[in-house]
Amino acid sequence: MAGSELFPLSEEHESIRQAARNFAQKEIAPLAAEFDESGEFPIKTIMKMGELGFMGIEVPEEYGGAGMDTLAYVLALEEICKVDAAHGTIMSVNNSLFCNGIMKFGSEAQKQKYVLPVASGKAVGAYSLTEPMSGSDAGTMRSRAIRQGDDYILNGRKSWVTSGPVADYLVLFTMTDPEKKHRGITAFLRNSDKSGFVRGKKEPKLGIRASATSEILFEDYHCPIEDRLGEEGEGFKIAMAVLDAGRIGIAAQALGIAEAAYEASVAYAKEREAFGSKIGEFQGISFKIADMKTRIEASRLLVYNAALAKERGKKTGERFTQEAAMAKLFASETAMFAAHTAVQIHGGIGYSKELPVERYFRDAKITEIYEGTSEIQRLVISRTELGIR
């Protein structure tokens, strides 16, 4: 089904969806459990996805991307995440947190130097906002950049950097003027091969295990002024605007996980017998299926709506903060609900590593946490509605 009659898909959208589905089934599905177990970063499949344009779907072709729109991005990401959310996490960071931010706020030289290799799958990008003592309250970071001639000297510790153990380049947010609080934050682009870029401890995680996550430290890292993204003090707004786009990606990821959990449940309910009937014939199971399906279709509308709002914003300059927050909030809670229900429907075998259902359950949880917790999404939505800042 093309999602919904409210969102009839063009031929171009159908074709990217099909391409992502085929790739995921053929190249990722056979490896997903293995990568989940080992926690190894799936560099080969990520590079192949880059060759197909999946690492920069909205990036124009001259910068190494596929030159498509946000709906195309969401459709492709949903298909990848339906098979493996860890590949989807890496894809979403490269697309929405790395390439998207530089395309929006970067100079021509920065687009050539940083977007081109990442969008074409020759390098991996990352986004680094969080610190050990600064998560949801993103404006309170302690890392520092001090201007020295034509360089900035960066010192500090960043945590929870997705793709941190392997990233070639990083969009990084740090304080240049602590007195000004969030208005004293500046964004920089950093190269992992320069001295002072130190990869810290790798996080052992519950889910999305193959999307390696680590701390990144910077110790007297010299960042030339041409690697500053935007102006001094613009970093917080850049971080928030980039996260608006990122949240649409996480919502699409959640939708993919929910669909996978749902499809596994329907198949199992049709096949498994108990008390002389297929278990799907019992209301205890069939009503669960009804609730999953309804929440998934509602999520789909919110996710595609947010993608269209972002697309409109490219022309009007309007923000899509609220649409993105609503999509992420609802889709991530739906993913958790669907995965939890899928394990319950499967019973013992759902708890076993023999089936991917327990992986969907572990992977779903992060969508309620990263790129803004569900509580932060509720804050963003309610502040807009109530006119509170």
- Enumerate the active-site residues: 371
- Interface residues toward ligand COS, by CB under 6 A: 129-130, 136, 138-139, 160, 182-183, 236-237, 240-241, 243-244, 319, 321, 370-372, 376, 379-380, 389
Give me the helices (H) in the chain, please.
11-23, 32-38, 43-51, 70-83, 85-92, 100-105, 108-110, 116-119, 235-271, 283-316, 321-346, 357-366, 374-386
- How many whole angstroms separate alpha carbon 331 and alpha carbon 343? 18
Tell the smallest beta-carbon distance from residue 97 to ligand COS (Å): 7
Residue 155 DSSP SS3: strand
Nearer to ligand COS, 285 or 366 (CB): 366
Nearer to ligand COS, 144 or 183 (CB): 183
Tokens, residue 144: 């520092």
Question: Residue-wise over 101-126: b if at least 16 C-beta within 10 A, else e?
Answer: bbbebbeeebbebbbbbbbbbebbbb
Nearer to ligand COS, 116 or 306 (CB): 306
Tell the smallest beta-carbon distance from residue 264 to ligand COS (Å): 28
Tell the smallest beta-carbon distance from residue 322 to ligand COS (Å): 9
Query: Are β-strands 125-128 and 169-175 bridged in parallel, bridged antiparallel, or unpaired?
Result: parallel
List the one residue out of 227, 239, 148, 159 whose CA is nearest residue 194: 227
Q: Taking every pair of C-alpha atoms in the chain, what is the biggest distance, in angstroms?
A: 79
- Taking the CB of residue 306, how many other CB atoms lie within 10 A of it? 30
Tell the smallest beta-carbon distance from residue 389 to ligand COS (Å): 5
- Taking the CB of residue 202, how many other CB atoms lie within 10 A of it? 13
Tell the smallest beta-carbon distance from residue 91 to ligand COS (Å): 15
List the one residue out of 258, 293, 268 whose CA is nearest residue 355: 268
